């Protein structure tokens, strides 16, 4: 049952709206705070709309059966859970802040894979930029996203390390 110009079902439309919100929240948080933090309003909006985006995406079977976006959704939820645990506990010891920060950033990386793929294979509706999610160009785009993630994660780790070093007594730095 297609109801929109993008050939979306009602669930697909809700999923798409949530996806736009989560992408905007991620961009806003990374620009403003340089990280996704569940302690901020934008971080909470990101986290909850990300969960809802993944959950609404799981029952969508555009190409029949379980596809890479379903696996990515489960991976996002698992990564988000690890990041949340790291932020609330000391399960990872002195590395908890690093696991939390890089975990939330990894969810943005995984989300960006879906965002790029879905956008380029659906828009414009009459003649999408890329005809298939299997197109070879996606390998290069995913590599570029991975490089951006690794650079961003390295900068976040550096910032956390610098902050932790400032907290140590002078003789132990």
CA 10 to chain centre: 23
Residue 62: pLDDT over 80: no
- Which residues have CB under 8 Å from 30's CB, separation 6+? 36, 108, 152
Domain that holds residue 54: 10-172
Joined together, the tokens standing for residue 107 give 């969810």
pLDDT category of residue 3 using cuts at 50, 70 and 90: low
Domain membership of residue 150 (yes or no) is yes
For residue 98, the number of C-alpha atoms closer than 13 Å in the C-beta half-sphere is 14
Domain membership of residue 68 (yes or no) is yes
Domain membership of residue 1 (yes or no) is no
> Average model confidence (pLDDT) for the chain?
92
Domain membership of residue 2 (yes or no) is no
Report cis status (omega within 30 of 0) of the bond before 124: yes
Convert the pLDDT of each residue in 115-153 to its tens digit: 999 999 989 988 999 999 999 999 999 999 999 999 999
Domain count, the chain: 1
């Amino acid at each position: 049952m297609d109801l929109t110009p993008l050939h979306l079902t009602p669930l697909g439309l809700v999923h798409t709206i949530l996806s736009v919100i989560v992408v905007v929240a991620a961009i806003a948080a990374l620009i403003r705070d340089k990280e996704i933090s569940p302690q901020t309003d934008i971080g909470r909006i990101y986290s909850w709309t990300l969960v809802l985006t993944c959950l609404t995406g799981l029952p969508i079977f555009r190409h029949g059966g379980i596809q890479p976006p379903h696996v990515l959704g489960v991976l996002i939820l698992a990564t988000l859970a690890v990041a949340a645990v790291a932020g609330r506990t000391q399960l990872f010891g002195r590395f908890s802040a690093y696991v939390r920060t890089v975990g939330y950033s990894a969810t943005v990386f995984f989300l960006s894979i879906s965002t790029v793929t879905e956008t380029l294979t659906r828009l414009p509706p009459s003649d999408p930029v890329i005809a298939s999610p299997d197109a070879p160009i996606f390998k290069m785009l995913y590599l570029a996203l991975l490089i951006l993630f690794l650079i961003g994660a390295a900068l976040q780790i550096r910032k956390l390390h610098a902050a932790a070093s400032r907290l140590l007594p002078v003789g132990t730095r």
